[in-house]
Amino acid sequence: MFKRIFVTILFLAQSSFCQTLEGKVVVTDGDTINLSGYKVRLDGIDALESSQYCENAYGVPYRCGLAATKFLQTLINNSDVRCEGKGTDRYERILATCFVNQINLNEEMVREGMAVAYRQYSSRYIEQEEAASSNKVGVWSGKFVYPWEWRKGKRLSDTKTKICNIKGNISSSGKIYHTADSKWYHRTKIDETKGERWFCTIEDAIEAGWRPPK
């Protein structure tokens, strides 16, 4: 009984703490930064996953997760970032609203279609999301899967068959990519639950750490 009460008190203390951090940051992805050694998650939004592909207005697949990361880097532009933290998530990241000067980074990511309102946890940025959808900016200009659905394995059904047909296999020999002309291509099965991936270009595969077969 005492242990249960102690855990509850500790959880409440973590959830209700308030902390302001300020300084230079390293952008991890479209909704996560590292500030002064602290992992900070932009609260109330969910950006496209780093490995996520979407389709643009012409139906061409592109790395929307990478685009979200680069967009956040551009917004920050090596400026000092101020984050107002009000809790932690289950990964012990600080949940915060972050600013560069007067720009609310959380809000701007949603307004520009590089993230969506994380409705499961917050309703703060729904208005900005609806505006982005109406204006067809960012991912709203084409097709995409909500990032929380992507994490559960949902994909755009026909994206891979268009141009993302390079297989990123993981074996005892390491991370190896196979193009359609590889003799191992048709024997190779991709299991995304094990970290294996599809790539649209050889450059994408190499950048992600995969190598060609010997």
Burial of 90 (0-12, 13-18, 19+ CB in 10 A): exposed
The answer to whether the CB of 144 falls within 8 A of the CB of 151 is: no
Strands 54-55 and 32-35, bridge-based pairing: unpaired
State the Cα–Cα distance between residues 186 and 42, nearest whole angstrom: 42
130 touches 115 (CB < 8 A): no
Hey, which residues are catalytic here? 41, 49, 93
